[in-house]
Amino acid sequence: MSHENERNERILVIDDEAANLKLLDKMLRAQGYENLVLLNDPREVIGSYQQARPDLILLDINMPHLDGYQVMEQLKALNDPLLPPIVILTAQNGKDYLLRALAAGARDFITKPFDRNELLMRVRNLLDAHLAHRLIHDQKKVLEEMVQIRTEELRNTRLQVVQRLGMAAEYRDEETGNHILRMSHISALLARKIGWSEAACELMLNASPMHDIGKIGIPDAILLKPGKFEPHEWEVMKTHAAIGGKLLDGDDSDLMCMAQEIALSHHEKWDGSGYPNGLSGEAIPQAGRIAALADVFDALTSARPYKKAWTVENAVNLIRENSGKHFDPKLVEIFMQQLPGILKIRERFDE
């Protein structure tokens, strides 16, 4: 047998007359179609369809129990995006009749008595069309899955880069990793309580650890100096915000954009007296305002080599006094309401 003749497409044939089934079986087998499912009871179509997953359906119209139209209704109700073409086997002619079958989902007709050549030609054309359709459908699914995997990889890679940058900054800083954890969790909590979406809060959690990344660019003699800064040293120290903004600039992912915004604006103050740009009020990105509040609170209540930890009470008083000066007053209000949750975060990431 030639290669052409070995066809393994599955064909489902439904006709209540045994003679017709037998004839179709013979014609199709002679052409090399081995995967045939023959039914003379239309009530078995759906079960058989789901089991055999045919590539083509040949369907009689006039049958007991269910006619061909009803069978097509049942098949359509399966909502299978890969429903194969349906060919009506019919002795009837007439335009209305054909239109009704087309409207019900038939793709083509074969008139009885069967003409062998006509039958085989239609079967082959429709099978080819269906296999091409299925191939495209499968490829689309594979591509969609690939895009999803790549997107996830990209997201993870970005997160890794950002977290490692944060670690790099910590190596040079007196601030501990726990400060970063507390500050970022407090930031995410405040963001949630002012109504940010869950996704945006997660961004905040991952982006805010970068707030001091610019300290990488500050000379050791200043960064690690014990005790108070001279005014010129303080000016150098302040450049960490702009350096951080520059370091994280140029990527358009949500994560990097927010990290950049926070690094650049976390020392701006509500009344315009902050740095590097002297922004005020709502001109300061909200992410930066949130990070500023969380950062200052945690820095105050943490011990550093050059200072003791403030009590929570003193830190809270300072924040209240600076509402509308250093801090966004609306955020301070939320901060006060959320103090129990904030203290829980402090306990969770204790030094």
Instruction: Note the residues at the interface with Fe ion (CB under 5 A).
Output: 212, 295
| Cα–Cα nearest to 285, from 191, 215, 175 | 191
Give the nearer residue to Fe ion in terms of CB position, either 14 or 203: 203
Report, in Å, the least distance between residue 295 CB and Fe ion: 4
- Say how far apart CA 122 and CA 111 lie, in whole Å: 12
- Say how far apart CA 311 and CA 317 lie, in whole Å: 10
Give the nearer residue to Fe ion in terms of CB position, either 20 or 260: 260
Give the nearer residue to Fe ion in terms of CB position, either 33 or 297: 297
- Say how far apart CA 111 and CA 323 lie, in whole Å: 86
Q: Are 291 and 211 in contact (CB under 8 A)?
A: yes
Q: Are 328 and 291 in contact (CB under 8 A)?
A: no
Give the nearer residue to Fe ion in terms of CB position, either 208 or 323: 208
Report, in Å, the least distance between residue 254 CB and Fe ion: 22
Contact residues for 6 (Cβ-Cβ < 8 A; gap 6+):
32, 34
Q: Which residue has the tokens 């010129």?
A: 232
Report, in Å, the least distance between residue 138 CB and Fe ion: 51
Report, in Å, the least distance between residue 299 CB and Fe ion: 6
Report, in Å, the least distance between residue 180 CB and Fe ion: 7
Determine if residue 64 is left, alpha or beta; phi over 0 gives left, psi from -120 to 50 gives alpha, anything else beta.
Answer: beta
CA dihedral 50, 53, 58, 62 (to 10 degrees): 0
The dihedrals phi and psi of 272, each to the nearest 5 degrees, come to 90, 5
| Cα–Cα nearest to 338, from 290, 276, 289, 278 | 290
Give the nearer residue to Fe ion in terms of CB position, either 60 or 295: 295
Report, in Å, the least distance between residue 209 CB and Fe ion: 9
Type of residue found at 123: V
Report, in Å, the least distance between residue 218 CB and Fe ion: 10
Give the nearer residue to Fe ion in terms of CB position, either 113 or 171: 171
Q: What tokens does 164 get?
A: 């490692």
Give the nearer residue to Fe ion in terms of CB position, either 111 or 239: 239
